[in-house]
Each structure stands twice: as structure tokens, then as C-alpha cells.
Amino acid sequence: MIRLKTKISVRARIRETVSSFTENGKMQKSAFIFRLLILSLLFLTFVTGYGNKNAFNFDKIDDFARSVKLKPSERPGDLAIRLTKNASTDIEKARAIFVWLTENIRYDTESYFSGRNEPRTLEEILHSGKSVCQGYSDLFETMSRSAGLEAVTISGWAKGASYSPDTFMSGSTNHAWNAVRIEGKWYLVDCTWGAGYLSGREYIKHFDEFYFFTPPEQLIHTHFPKNNDWQLLEPKMTKEKYLSIPKSWPNCFRCGVELLSDAYENMRVREEETFQFGVNEGSALLVTLYGPDRNPRKAHVFVQRSGNMYEVRTRFAEKGNYELHIYARKETDDDPLFHSAIAISLINAYA
């Protein structure tokens, strides 16, 4: 029933998008095409079975996985068998492994910031309790296979803590994540990002549900695989399109934040620009414009809300690089803070 309701909602959004373009002409053509593409992908996701993880209650398997302690000298395969012994389905097996890794392995900030990542066996990584993304993904693949699942490690690029639109994807791949096959379908998993995040040089341990079975049309906003087949999308997104998409966070999808204007990464702006955003019912946005010195330009942003639509008028008084940062929260959240949803890199070359 929930799945059917979602399908109807997506169909309605597609009709609204077409109507807004064909009837009022308010939406620019490229923004219309991009929005329609994302909504169509979202529709296909629910039709083909992606995005259904919310239909499962993982409380028991999560609690069990978090209670399992690593034994001295235990190998990844043996741990996987213990972790999945109470699982009644393959999805519960994958979930138990994901939860255990995100709970017990911390990101190796020392190796990341020093650039020295000494080769280690999976047993060494497991018992050290820390790793970079390759270790997380190799452990997930190995443990999944030991539990009887088909899993692979995916190499590619991700818009993470060190992301800069000027230099991104100019070198070798910078991230690794996984796909696991359940009942004939491939699902995407990122244990590294599910375990926590970097705030400056500090690692914040934080379990993020979003990175377990992330819908492909959402993960592609931040993760671009070297092998395009692992986008799990049809049609495939091009590298050029991926680079043009502003950086996003899970909160973007959680609150239903949509960029309705014809804006893209490293977009050249004039002294004054207007951007439009949509948001789900019951969610709210907070907008900050950061200047070339990375300080907020509070006096240079005017935000007007009408229902679930936001119009953001901005002024770029200086020449240089700017960032329009959109924060969001649900009105029912206990947390009073707004968290990152979308960040758009903008360039004023005319001042």
C-alpha cells in the first residue's frame, strides 16, 4: 500500500512538472528536462523494487549485529557467519554486515590526511578497527560472500570531504563502495559514508541509514562509478552531467529539496541572480551565501517562501568563487538545527 501511494505521488509530480513547463513557461528548458529525468528515474526505482528498504523493520537484526563482539584472531568470514546466523532473509544478512562494519570500523583519518595507506590484510583491518574506504568495501564484499551473498566492490569518484569542483575527477578514483545482489536485483551500499563523516580534520562517528540500499538515482548525485554499469541506471548518466550536479547530502532527499532553477556547478553568475527551490510538505529551508573568503554574506541574500516553494535572490558584489548552501530540516524533527542539503558552486567573473 505504501509503495502504491508512492507511485501515484511520483506520477503526480511528473504531471505537475510537465504542466508547469507547457502551460506557464516559468521553468527554463534545461531545468525542466533535468527535473523530469530525476522524477522519471524515481518512478522507475519504485516500479522495479528499489527504495523499498523502509518496508522492513531492522530493529532486531540491528540490535543483534551491534551486540556481536569480535573474537581474538577471528577472520572476516567466521565473523560473517556468526553475524548472519539469526537472519531469515538475504536482506537481513546484508543489513547485519553493514551495521556491524559501520558500528565497529572507524575511518582512518591518519592514513587519509597523511596520504600513506600501507597495505594491510583484511584480518589486520578488522582487528585494528579502522580503515579508509577500500578496507570498508573489501570487508563488506568478503563477509557478504562468506554469508552466501553475491557482492562486488565498486571503484569510482565521490563528492566527499575534499571535494572541489575545479579539480574533481582530474586524477585516479578516490572512493570505493559496494553492490550486493538480493533476489536477482543489485542494491548499493556504502559502509564508509554510513559509518560517519569528516568535519574538518575531525572524524564524527554517525550511523547513516541512507547509505544502505541507497536508490541509484539518489546515489549518482555523489557517487560516479568507473564502470558505468554500476550506476544501475537507464539511461546512464554522463560524466559531464554528473560534474554539473551540485553537491548534495542525504538531507536533500529526506526533506525533498529540489533545485528548480537552471543552475549547475561552477555556474558563472552576474551581480544579481534568482534561484528557486522546492521542498516537501512539512520541511523548511535555510539559505546561506558564502563569499570568496568563505564568510557568509547575510546582507546579500533575500529569501521568500510561498507554500513549498522558495525564491532566493542573491547579490554577488565581489569577483570570485561563491557557494550557495541550502540547509534543511523537517518541522517534526527533535533536532532544532538545519543540516546540509545542497551546495552550489558559483563564479562571479564580471564584478
Q: How far apart are CA 338 and CA 303, in angstroms?
A: 16
Average pLDDT (40-56) is 51
User: Where do we find the cell 536508490?
Assistant: 215
What's the average model confidence in pLDDT over 215-238? 97
Please identify which of the residues 138, 175, 223, 255 carries the catalytic annotation: 175
pLDDT, residue 327, reads: 98
Percent of all residues in the chain with a pLDDT value above 90, rounded to a whole number:
77
Q: Distance (Å, rounded) from C-alpha 183 to C-alpha 52? A: 13
At residue 31, the pLDDT reads: 53
Q: What is the pTM of this model?
A: 0.83
User: What pLDDT score does 285 carry?
Assistant: 98
What pLDDT, on the 0 to 100 scale, is given for residue 52? 59
Average confidence (pLDDT) over 158-176: 88
339 tagged catalytic: no
- Mean pLDDT across 304-329: 97
The mean pLDDT value for 302-315 works out to 97
Q: What is the pLDDT of residues 74-119, one digit of tens each?
A: 999 999 999 999 999 999 999 999 999 999 999 999 999 988 877 7
Above 70 in pLDDT, residue 266? yes
Active-site residue 190, yes or no?
Answer: yes
The pairing of beta strand 130-131 with beta strand 106-107: parallel
Annotation says 166 is catalytic? no
Fold of 53-245: C8orf32 fold (3.10.620)
Provide the pLDDT for residue 17. 43
Please list, in sequence order, all residues whose beta carbon lies within 8 angstroms of the beta carbon of residue 216, skipping any fewer than 6 positions away: 41, 45, 50, 188, 231, 232, 233
Nearest of 260, 257, 272, 264 to residue 241 by alpha carbon: 264
φ/ψ of residue 2, rounded to 5: -65, -40
Domain ranges of the chain: 53-245, 247-351
Among residues 7, 8, 17, 52, the alpha carbon closest in space to that of 37 is found at 17
| Candidates 90, 108, 138, 190; catalytic one | 190
Domain 247-351: give its CATH code: 2.60.40.10
Whether the Cβ atoms of residue 198 and residue 109 lie closer than 8 Å to each other:
yes
Q: Which of 62, 133, 138, 221 is catalytic?
A: 133
Query: CATH topology of 53-245 equal to that of 247-351?
Result: no
Query: Are 110 and 132 contacting, i.e. CB atoms less than 8 angstroms apart?
Result: no
Residue 27 has pLDDT above 70, yes or no: no
